[in-house]
């Protein structure tokens, strides 16, 4: 990463200038960010990858959050100290976008993408150490929240992701809001509350900015 030119990202021998530096400030260009994201997406996911026109507003909100655009974040009621809860129907592109967007601002601390079901599998093998490991101060994006099975360790059932979200909420409050947790989910607010309970749902309101695809968003995998 070029710390002197954080507005220029090198990919595959090509330099993508996604903004201009004015003093100590980068003024980003959304169109140029889209060009970079599509190019990076093709490198990550294959030549068929593309950004869809109908997703422009979602991508714009996510980019505004990542680059900490104060004016746009206020407009969209996004708190840059919170994480992102990206919801939408199966196949609408949530996971791909979250995998992709962390490359947009390489000078920021990156988050690690973790399938929620893998967290549960880890709990089934390691027990409560897994909750300690994923409830720590690392930056995570838990993918497909809500479709993971319940955990079971030595005959005791556990709502693993619910416990991890409670742990991360406590850390969030005790680290001056520096801890970032992101999630993707196919579930709506009512379904999340049914899955994790009102206590967790209440904490999720403090942990996350909700950014949602339309319930009619098409499946891009078909």
Is 81-212 in CATH node 3.40.50.2020? no
- Spell out the domain ranges in the chain: 81-212
DSSP per-residue string spanning 59-82: HHHHHHHHTT-HHHHHHTT--TTS
> For the chain (length 222 residues), average pLDDT per consecutive 10?
73 91 89 96 94 96 96 96 96 95 90 96 95 91 96 94 95 82 95 94 95 90 75
Task: Give residue 107's pLDDT.
Answer: 85
CA distance 85 to 140: 12
Task: Give residue 206's pLDDT.
Answer: 94
The count of other CB atoms within 10 Å of the CB of residue 194 is 13
Nearest in space to 165 (alpha carbons), one of 121, 188, 191, 198: 198
- What's the pTM? 0.93
């Amino acid at each position: 990463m070029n710390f002197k030119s954080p507005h220029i990202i090198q990919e595959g021998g090509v330099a993508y200038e996604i903004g201009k530096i004015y003093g100590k400030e980068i003024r980003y260009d959304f169109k140029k960010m889209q060009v970079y994201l599509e190019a990076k997406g093709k490198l990550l996911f294959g030549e068929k990858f593309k950004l869809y026109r109908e997703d422009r507003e979602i991508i714009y909100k996510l980019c505004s959050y990542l680059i900490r655009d104060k004016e746009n974040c206020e407009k969209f009621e996004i708190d840059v100290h919170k994480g992102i809860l990206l919801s939408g129907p199966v196949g609408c592109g949530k996971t791909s976008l979250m995998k992709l967007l962390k490359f947009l601002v390489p000078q920021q601390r990156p988050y690690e993408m973790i399938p929620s079901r893998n967290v549960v599998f880890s709990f089934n093998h390691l027990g409560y150490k897994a909750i300690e490991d994923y409830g720590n101060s690392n930056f995570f994006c838990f993918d497909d929240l809500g479709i993971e099975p319940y955990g079971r360790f030595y005959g005791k059932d556990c709502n693993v992701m619910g416990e991890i979200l409670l742990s991360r909420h406590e850390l969030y409050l005790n680290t001056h809001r520096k801890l970032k947790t992101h999630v993707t989910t196919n579930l709506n607010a009512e379904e999340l509350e049914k899955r994790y309970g009102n206590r967790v749902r209440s904490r999720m309101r403090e942990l996350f900015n909700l950014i949602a695809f339309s319930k009619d968003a098409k499946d891009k995998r078909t």
